[in-house]
Amino acid sequence: MPSREFQKKMYGRYRKALPRHLHMREPHETPWYSLGAHTDETSGYRSFLHMGPAKNRFRHIKHPSNVTRAVRKEISRVLHMGEPQPAGFFSNFVRYAVTSTAIFASLLIVFNFQAYGSVVSYWWMHTFSGETFAKEAFAYVEHTAPTLLPVPVNTTHSTAEAGGLHPDGSQLPINPPDNRIMIPKIGQNIPIKEVDPKNLVDQKWNGLEQDIQEALKEGVVRYPGTAQPGQNGNVFITGHSSYYLWDPGRYKDVFALLHELALGDTITIFYDENRYDYVVKEIRVVSPKEIDVLQQSNDKRLTLMTCTPIGTAINRLVVIAEQVEK
Question: Do 37 and 124 belong to one domain?
Answer: no
Q: What is the pLDDT of residue 248?
A: 74
User: Side chain identity at 137, as an amino acid letter?
Assistant: A
Question: Do 43 and 135 belong to one domain?
Answer: no
DSSP per-residue letters across 146-200: -BPPP----TTS-TTTTTT--TT----BPPPSS-EEEEGGGTEEEEEEE--THHH
Q: What angle do CA 147, 153, 158 make, to 5 degrees?
A: 110
Q: What is the pLDDT of residue 239?
A: 92
For residue 91, being part of any structural domain is answered with no
Cβ atoms 32, 57 nearer than 8 A:
yes
Total count of domains within the chain = 2
For residue 127, being part of any structural domain is answered with yes
pLDDT tens for the 326 residues of the chain, in order: 556 666 666 666 656 555 554 444 444 444 444 444 444 444 443 444 444 444 444 344 444 454 556 666 666 665 555 555 555 677 777 888 888 888 877 776 666 656 655 556 655 555 555 454 444 444 444 444 444 334 344 444 443 444 444 444 445 556 778 899 999 998 889 999 999 999 999 889 899 999 999 999 999 999 999 999 999 999 999 998 877 767 777 888 889 889 889 999 999 999 998 999 999 999 999 998 888 898 888 999 999 999 888 878 889 999 999 999 87
Residues whose CB falls within 8 Å of the CB of residue 56, separated by 6 or more in sequence, listed in order: none
Q: What is the pLDDT of residue 106?
A: 74
Question: Do 299 and 168 belong to one domain?
Answer: yes
For residue 315, being part of any structural domain is answered with yes
Four-residue CA torsion sign, 211, 217, 223, 224? negative
Neighbours of 237 (CB within 10 A): 24
Question: Do 161 and 218 belong to one domain?
Answer: yes
Question: Do 57 and 148 belong to one domain?
Answer: no
Q: What is the pLDDT of residue 81?
A: 55
Q: What is the pLDDT of residue 25?
A: 45
Cβ atoms 140, 181 nearer than 8 A:
no
pTM: 0.55
Cβ atoms 208, 223 nearer than 8 A:
no
Residues 259-271: b if buried by 16+ CB within 10 A, e if exposed: bebeeebbbbbbb
Q: What is the pLDDT of residue 24?
A: 46
Q: Name the DSSP letter for residue 104.
A: H
Question: Do 243 and 140 belong to one domain?
Answer: yes
Cβ atoms 226, 294 nearer than 8 A:
yes
Question: Do 119 and 199 belong to one domain?
Answer: yes
Question: Do 184 and 59 belong to one domain?
Answer: no
Question: Do 63 and 131 belong to one domain?
Answer: no
Question: Do 62 and 205 belong to one domain?
Answer: no
Range of the domain at 41: 4-81
Helices (H) and strands (E) in the chain, counts: 8, 11
Q: What is the pLDDT of residue 265?
A: 95
For residue 99, being part of any structural domain is answered with no
Q: Give the H/E segment covering residue 305.
A: strand 300-308
Question: Do 61 and 143 belong to one domain?
Answer: no
Q: Is the peptide bond before 309 cis (omega within 30 degrees of 0)?
A: yes
